Structure 1
Amino acid sequence: MTSYRFSTQVADWPLLPASERINILTGWTQGSGLLALLEGELIVCLCNFNGAVMCVGNALTDIPNLAFHVAPQLKSVKLSSNDLSTLPARVFSPLTALEQLYIDENQLETIAPEIFEGLVVLQHLDLRHNKLTSPASDVFDGLTNLTLLNLGRNSIKYLPPTIFHSLPKLLSLSIYNNDDNPWDCTCGIRGIARWIRHNQHVVIDKEDVMCQSPMYQLLRTIVSLRDEEFNFCDTTTVPSFPTLNELHETTQPFHTISTIGQKTYRLQILLHAFKHTLTQIQF
């Protein structure tokens, strides 16, 4: 694959057709422009005639709103290893021919629900090694041709239960931990745990996706969580502790759930009740 050096200077494009120089130059200098983004430093990326643009390791902190507006023919965009913390809501929408998008190893904490709107032929999406915490449930809507999605090495604690439902062709999903996905395995995990169980062939690192909280679920794989373990989440009443008089009456034992986590939860309630009782006993 032949690559060419390009920047924000027209003179740096002697090997590319004039139309291509103007397209990418205009696209990448709209608004604040790349030159302004790096305070006058020259931006060097790689491009080729197959519709690929690579801007890797350029310390980019922002992308202009209309950066790709005049380059809808691009098939691959790689923005890896930069310092992007935010992205304009529809910055990639003009790229209707885009097949591969790499935004890995940046500083993204959130992404707008419409960020991938219009990318109807996108097949590969790499978002690993950012700081994402909880993507919106509809952020991947419309990506009906997506086959590979990497969300590993983020700070994800929760994923909406329907977040992957609009990806009928998904073949490979990575959401691995490496201490950067501190999964919270309380009630909110039930839906996505069910999806992972039903799509184990898609989640390539399912055995490495583990709970970090609560403590009684620590290091348990999410794929091992079962629906019945979360039955208590459906109750609307808060358990009350028995008084001294009530303890002398015949009562029904706590319902036993066949998981270590729920047994621990019930035991904690019982111990708290016992401690409460001891404080009321007169010697």
Structure 2
Amino acid sequence: MDFSLTELVRILVVSMLTSFTCTAACPSVCKCFSNGEVKCTGDTITDTPQQLPVHTYTLQLIGTNMHVISERSLEKKDLMTRFSLIFSHLHTVHPHAFHATPQLRSLQLSSNDISALDARVFSPLTALEELYLNMNQLESIDPDQFEGLVALQDLDLSYNKLSSVPSGAFRGLVKLESLNMGNNYFKTLSPTTFRSLRKLKTLSIYRNQLERLESGMFDSLVNLEYLQIFSNKIATIPPGVFWSLRNLKNLTLSSNQLQTVPDRSFYNMPKLFKLTLYKNPLLSLPEELMGHMPEMSEFYLYATNLITVPGNLFANMSGLEALNLHFNDKLSELPPDLFCCLPNLQKLSLKSNNLQQLHPQHFSRLSKLDKLLLNNNTLKNLPKNTFRELGQLTMLDLKTNQLQNLPEDIFKSNTFLEVALSDNPWDCTCSIRGFARWIRHNKHAVLDSEDVMCHSPQYQILRTLDSLHDEELNNCNVTTVTPTCTLTEEPTQESSKTTPEADSSHQLQPNVKLDETSSIDDVSLPFHDIFVIEQELDFVHHNYHSGWVYVWFLPSTTVLAAFLMFSHIFLVAIGIFLILCAIYGMHLLSKRVKEIKAQFVHF
């Protein structure tokens, strides 16, 4: 579009005048913006400012001392379409307060002290699209409370003290798309409460006192996409109560009192992508529970009382990407084919259950699995081929189980794997040789290698698995030596000499008694079992190196212990004394500096 020079000058002049007018008319407690928004804050405000820019489209009053919206508070604001009065302890709205602003499209009275409203206070607002009454003290709603709001799309009643909704309270709200009734005191809702809300897309009834859902209460909500019913006291669900919700995408039923769920409760919801059932005291689930849900990507089933689950529970969830089946402390068994039909699963959490064993084929079809959490269970062993088909697995958590050993090649197929293995009772005898070798060769893949320690036998306690060497475990099957006598330290003339090695370690040779089948070669073998030191020394640590066992210890004599304690206290006392001397010296120095300064000033 072409403009002449005259037209450009006229537009520029008008813009400058408008900007000057807006700035000049802006009250000192407000900020006025060029887009027609005015924001006023402060407890000096007791009513809506009367002197506002001509082109004020949005007025926000925050943290004011305005307790009443009077009949004249909104006069002379013919262009205002959005009005907010929040955090102001508002408690009264005049029945005719909005007669002067029928053009309002958004009204926010959140975070105030409103306990009651006139029956038809909002009726003049036929153009209103958003009404926020959340975080007030409302205890009741009049049957005609929302009469006339034919354009309303968003209604927020959350965080009030409502315990009931009159029958037909929402009639006439034919364009309503979002209704939030969360954090109130509803115990029951009539089957007809939502009957007229056919365009509703989001319904929130979370954190109430609901004990049950009524049959047919959702039948009219054919366009509903989000239904939040978590944190109530719902103990029963009527059969088919959700069947009309064919467009539902998100259903949260967590933190209720469900012990059972009717057959086919979640049928006819093909668009569902998120379902939560966690924190319910579920005892069992029916064989037929889930309908066809190809778009389901997240499923949460944890903190229940389930002992097991149906084998076909996830059969209709081919699009599932994240499955959280954890924190079920009674879940001890999983059907072999439970994860058979989840080709897109990337994260599987089975942590903090009571799983004692896994079937070799449990994960055989999870070719895209990236993260597997099995920590905090009671797994005692794992089949050799448990992870064979998980070629894309990058994270495996096996911490805090009852594992004593694992096959050496159990992770042979997992090229990119990082694994956590600590807090297991690893048995560092002959059978651990192969797995210890794998850890030594794949330290980069063990996230907590420094904490993967031997639990048995006693002489290996506190050793890490990656410190075990093959030569230590090569002779575990030798049976010709019978160590029936006490193994003692044999001092020799050479060993009595003072050397660096003699000061820090002792080389021990076992005295053994040979049976009839023993040979002299057996005597030269380094021992690998319990030894006894008769001097009753405090054992500290031992290492195996080049056929020798090095033992570090401290004498446990009362005199030495007392000497060390006295030395420690003496050194601490000296340190404190030196610190005090330094502080006193700094004080004297500072005092002297001040005296010198005073002399110069006087001079």
Question: Quick one: distance in 2 between partners of 1:218 and 1:256?
Answer: 22
Corresponding residue of 1:16? 248
Q: Does 1:84 align with 2:331?
A: yes
Instruction: Give 1:1-283 correspondences, 5 Å limit.
Output: 10-12=240-242, 14=245, 16=248, 18-20=268-270, 37=284, 51-82=297-328, 83-170=330-417, 172-177=418-423, 181-233=424-476, 235=477, 237-239=479-481, 241-242=513-514, 251=520, 254-257=523-526, 262=527, 264=529
Contact 2:227-2:248 at 8 Å conserved across structures: no
Cα deviation for residue 3 of structure 1 reads 8.8
Q: 3-state SS of the aligned residue for 1:149?
A: strand
Contact 1:5-1:12 at 8 Å conserved across structures: no
Cα deviation for residue 222 of structure 1 reads 0.6
- Label 1:253 to 1:128 Cα distance change in 2 as closer, same or farther (>3 A): closer
- Label 1:104 to 1:35 Cα distance change in 2 as closer, same or farther (>3 A): closer
Q: Which amino acid aligns with 1:124?
A: K
Corresponding residue of 1:278? none
- Label 1:167 to 1:88 Cα distance change in 2 as closer, same or farther (>3 A): same
Question: Quick one: distance in 2 between partners of 1:158 and 1:3?
Answer: 47
TM-score, length of structure 1 as denominator length: 0.74
Question: Quick one: distance in 1 between partners of 2:308 and 2:525?
Answer: 54
- Label 1:252 to 1:117 Cα distance change in 2 as closer, same or farther (>3 A): closer
Q: 3-state SS of the aligned residue for 1:11?
A: coil
After superposition, what is the alpha-carbon deviation per residue over 1:39-76, rounded to whole angstroms, capped at 9, x for unaligned? 9xxx9xxx9x6701111212222110111111111011
Structure 1 unmatched ranges of 5 or more: 29-33, 269-283
Question: Quick one: distance in 1 between partners of 2:520 and 2:360?
Answer: 51
Q: Which piece of structure 1 moves more, 50-59 or 9-18?
A: 9-18
- Label 1:24 to 1:35 Cα distance change in 2 as closer, same or farther (>3 A): farther
Greater Cα radius of gyration, structure 1 or 2: 2
Question: Quick one: distance in 1 between partners of 2:415 and 2:227?
Answer: 34
Contact 1:174-1:204 at 8 Å conserved across structures: yes
Cα deviation for residue 210 of structure 1 reads 0.7
Contact 2:327-2:352 at 8 Å conserved across structures: yes
Contact 2:282-2:306 at 8 Å conserved across structures: no
Q: 3-state SS of the aligned residue for 2:299?
A: strand
Contact 1:176-1:208 at 8 Å conserved across structures: yes
Contact 2:392-2:414 at 8 Å conserved across structures: yes
Question: Quick one: distance in 1 between partners of 2:468 and 2:307?
Answer: 39
Cα deviation for residue 5 of structure 1 reads 6.0
- Label 1:220 to 1:20 Cα distance change in 2 as closer, same or farther (>3 A): same
Cα deviation for residue 19 of structure 1 reads 4.0
After superposition, what is the alpha-carbon deviation per residue over 1:81-113, rounded to whole angstroms, capped at 9, x for unaligned? 012100001110110110000010000001111
Contact 1:24-1:71 at 8 Å conserved across structures: no
Structure 2 unmatched ranges of 5 or more: 1-225, 231-235, 250-267, 483-512, 533-603
Contact 2:355-2:379 at 8 Å conserved across structures: yes
Question: Quick one: distance in 2 between partners of 1:242 and 1:62?
Answer: 55
Question: Quick one: distance in 2 between partners of 1:192 and 1:62?
Answer: 31
Cα deviation for residue 21 of structure 1 reads 6.8
Q: 3-state SS of the aligned residue for 1:191?
A: helix
* C-alpha RMSD over aligned residues: 3.6
- Label 1:81 to 1:12 Cα distance change in 2 as closer, same or farther (>3 A): farther
Question: Quick one: distance in 1 between partners of 2:405 and 2:433?
Answer: 10
- Larger RCO: Structure 1 or Structure 2 (Cα < 8 Å, ≥ 6 residues apart)? 1
Contact 1:107-1:131 at 8 Å conserved across structures: yes
Contact 2:282-2:305 at 8 Å conserved across structures: no
Contact 1:161-1:195 at 8 Å conserved across structures: yes
- Label 1:101 to 1:4 Cα distance change in 2 as closer, same or farther (>3 A): farther
Cα deviation for residue 117 of structure 1 reads 1.4
Question: Quick one: distance in 1 between partners of 2:227 and 2:452?
Answer: 38
- Label 1:21 to 1:86 Cα distance change in 2 as closer, same or farther (>3 A): farther
Question: Quick one: distance in 1 between partners of 2:321 and 2:515?
Answer: 69
Contact 1:23-1:70 at 8 Å conserved across structures: no
Q: 3-state SS of the aligned residue for 1:77?
A: strand
Contact 1:76-1:101 at 8 Å conserved across structures: yes
After superposition, what is the alpha-carbon deviation per residue over 1:130-149, rounded to whole angstroms, capped at 9, x for unaligned? 00001111111100000000
Contact 1:256-1:263 at 8 Å conserved across structures: no
Percent identity of paired positions between Structure 1 and Structure 2: 35
Q: Which amino acid aligns with 1:59?
A: N
The count of residues paired between Structure 1 and Structure 2 equals 241
Q: Which amino acid aligns with 2:327?
A: S
After superposition, what is the alpha-carbon deviation per residue over 1:146-203, rounded to whole angstroms, capped at 9, x for unaligned? 0000000101111111111111121x210111xxx11100011111111111111111
Q: 3-state SS of the aligned residue for 2:440?
A: helix
- Label 1:58 to 1:220 Cα distance change in 2 as closer, same or farther (>3 A): same
After superposition, what is the alpha-carbon deviation per residue over 1:226-261, rounded to whole angstroms, capped at 9, x for unaligned? 11111103x5654355369x99xx95572244xxxx
Contact 2:332-2:356 at 8 Å conserved across structures: yes
